[in-house]
Amino acid sequence: MGEAEGSGSKDKRWSLHGMTALVTGGSKGIGHAIVEELAGLGASVHTCSRTESELNNCLLEWKAKGFQVTGSVCDVSNQAQREKLMNTVSSEFNGKLNILINNVGNNIGKTVSDYTAEDVSVLTSTNFESAYNLSVLAHPLLKASTAGSIVFISSVGSVMPANSASIYGANKAAINQLGRYLAYDWAGDNIRVNTVAPGVIKTPLAQRFFEGIEGGIETIISRTPLGRFGKPEEVSAMVVFLCLPAASYVTGQIIFVDGGTTVNGLFFPEPITNKGCPPKPI
């Protein structure tokens, strides 16, 4: 193999040129970072948001950056709107889709006994049913691409309790298992399915969650080995890696992007300035 041929092959492994993607909830937070990461690597992206003004502002911003991004207004908790969204994507991308990012998520901060039946229904339809149904709707398009990839956005709350997030956490735990099942069921269609579970990331949802919780931020940071919150682009980098040709043998995985929160166990880190000192037990 000549040097030029090898170089070109390597470049293709780390490029999304010619690929198409749908990202739900791409107007802010992690979803926004994922759209930019995908488009920056050459993908043509369609995204959606419930808020038209936010979406339009983002589309203008992305156009100015030279990104190939389109968008539509959609509440993914509604089946009729999900079907309309997928029809739009199918028409725009000629019946083929390489990448589906199920990013939308929401929480209602209450204790377990305070949730109403309506609360549970709203959260489950947003966090779980939307991702499941969109994946099923997208399946023919992903299969037609001959190289499909789905990434679910979960949470560390799916494997460890989080204050005032029991239903959200249960929904995300279901997402973890859904990802495994789809990876198994759809492998024969050359569709890879993975899940990324972020820790506490600096997003509007996280900021809303910590409002009124005295000392909440300091407590979370004290239990995070890296000693800080994550950034949306630190999550989007992992999400997009899983969509690259370079990740072609990775499927059925749950990857935590959490600064070490899920491995901290019963030991809390020393202040970040005391490097080299072992953590002290509680």
**pLDDT for 176-186, tens place per residue?**
999 999 999 99
pLDDT band with cut points at 50, 70 and 90 for residue 9: low
- Convert the pLDDT of each residue in 122-160 to its tens digit: 999 999 999 999 999 999 999 999 999 999 999 999 999
- Show the tokens assigned to 137: 């709707």
Strand duo 148-153 + 191-198: pairing: parallel
Task: State the pLDDT at residue 264.
Answer: 76
- Mean pLDDT of all residues in the chain? 90
Give me the sheet containing 254-257, strands edge to edge: 69-73, 44-49, 20-24, 99-102, 148-153, 191-198, 254-257
- Convert the pLDDT of each residue in 40-76 to its tens digit: 999 999 999 999 999 999 999 999 999 999 999 999 9
Selected catalytic residue, list 132, 168, 181, 249:
168
pLDDT band with cut points at 50, 70 and 90 for residue 210: low
Residue 255 has pLDDT above 50, yes or no: yes
Say if residues 155 and 167 touch (Cβ distance below 8 Å): no
Percent of the chain with pLDDT over 90: 77
Task: State the pLDDT at residue 212.
Answer: 60
Known catalytic residue at 181: no
